[in-house]
């Protein structure tokens, strides 16, 4: 799969946009995070891998504000946002797109965008109409602008999910398994769109089980397992690492 153009790799190393500082979280006996640290550069595209149930979505909840960590801090653009509610984090520039798109099915594509943009940017609906149209065009939905969201194909609902996230004018975009459920061809189309979004310099953190889609876009991959990041580095090195082979295929590291 073609990787497409990427944001200049050196740029994001200069400044961190998001830092997880010694985050711990458990649900009873299930340890999601045991004092994990993570720094995401401004403009970086970071992939998070990990087996089912590792806690990747929970980590996104901690970043987006829907889940509280047991301890540790979430720092966004230099500010401690650990105790900030999700709506305030959204307005500070953290947006999230889900595996199962969550548009208002009875509203049109345009109306969905206007609602997201007005909320995320804290502006009147009139003031966000032009940018909403631009984002709809950019996401390949111009011909469906007046269609009800509930009548769209899965790929177009995924495009709309991304468009709604972009409408909030994020600085950090969290993608939660957005390639899930797509055919190979549809997956290529979605990767092309995310690669295009990437060229604007927007910071992306992407959880994904469709590994080839992830590695086509991201600069770096971290692997969450057993409450810790057990591998990290450039995508190809990480997916070929013995730790990842052991977790995903049961091949012991010392073989």
Which of positions 10-29 make contact with ligand ATP (CB under 6 A)? 27
Which of positions 187-206 make contact with ligand ATP (CB under 6 A)? none
Within the chain, strands assigned E span 16-27, 30-41, 45-49, 71-76, 79-80, 94-97, 172-176, 203-207, 220-225, 228-233
In the numeric block, which tokens belong to residue 151? 């009548």
Using CB under 6 A as the binding criterion, the count of chain residues that bind ligand ATP stands at 11
| Nearer of residues 52 and 185 to ligand ATP, judged by Cβ | 52
Min separation Cβ 249 and ligand ATP, Å = 16
CB burial of 99-116 (b: ≥16 within 10 Å; e: otherwise) equals bebebeeeebbbbbbbbb
Min separation Cβ 250 and ligand ATP, Å = 17
Residue pair 207/176 in contact by the 8 Å Cβ criterion: yes
Which of positions 123-142 make contact with ligand ATP (CB under 6 A)? none
| Nearer of residues 52 and 146 to ligand ATP, judged by Cβ | 52
| Nearer of residues 53 and 242 to ligand ATP, judged by Cβ | 53
| Nearer of residues 32 and 81 to ligand ATP, judged by Cβ | 32
Min separation Cβ 179 and ligand ATP, Å = 13
Which of positions 39-68 make contact with ligand ATP (CB under 6 A)? 50, 52-58
Long-range contacts of 187-193 (CB under 8 A, 24+ apart): 187/213, 188/1, 189/140, 189/155, 190/155, 190/158, 190/159, 191/1, 191/4, 191/216, 191/217, 192/4, 193/139, 193/140, 193/159, 193/162
Min separation Cβ 244 and ligand ATP, Å = 15
Q: Which residues contact 200 (CB under 8 A, 6 or more apart)?
A: none
The residue within the footprint of ligand ATP, chosen from 11, 13, 22, 30 (CB under 6 A), is 30
| Nearer of residues 31 and 192 to ligand ATP, judged by Cβ | 31
Binding footprint of ligand ATP on the chain (CB under 6 A): 27, 30, 32, 50, 52-58
């Amino acid at each position: 799969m073609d990787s497409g153009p990427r944001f200049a790799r050196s740029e994001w190393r200069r400044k961190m946009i998001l830092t997880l500082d010694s985050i711990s979280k458990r649900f009873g006996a299930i340890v999601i995070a045991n004092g994990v640290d993570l720094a995401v550069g401004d403009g970086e595209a970071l992939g998070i891998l990990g087996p089912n149930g590792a806690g990747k979505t929970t980590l996104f909840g901690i970043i987006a504000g829907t889940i509280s960590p047991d301890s540790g801090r979430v720092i966004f653009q230099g500010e401690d946002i650990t105790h900030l509610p999700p709506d305030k984090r959204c307005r500070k520039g953290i947006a999230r797109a889900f595996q199962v798109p969550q548009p208002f099915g009875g509203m049109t594509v345009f109306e969905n965008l206007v609602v997201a943009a007005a909320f995320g940017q804290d502006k009147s609906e009139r003031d966000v109409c032009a940018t909403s149209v631009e984002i709809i065009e950019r996401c390949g939905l111009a011909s469906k602008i007046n269609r009800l969201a509930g009548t769209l194909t899965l790929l177009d609902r995924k495009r709309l999910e991304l468009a709604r996230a972009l409408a909030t004018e994020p600085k950090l975009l969290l993608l939660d398994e957005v390639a899930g459920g797509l055919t190979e061809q549809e997956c290529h189309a979605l990767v092309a769109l995310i690669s295009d979004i990437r060229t604007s310099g927007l910071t992306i953190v992407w959880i994904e089980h469709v590994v080839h889609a992830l590695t086509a876009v991201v600069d770096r991959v971290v692997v969450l397992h057993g409450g810790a990041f057990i591998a990290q580095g450039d995508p190809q090195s990480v997916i070929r690492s013995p730790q990842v082979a052991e977790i995903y295929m049961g091949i012991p590291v010392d073989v």
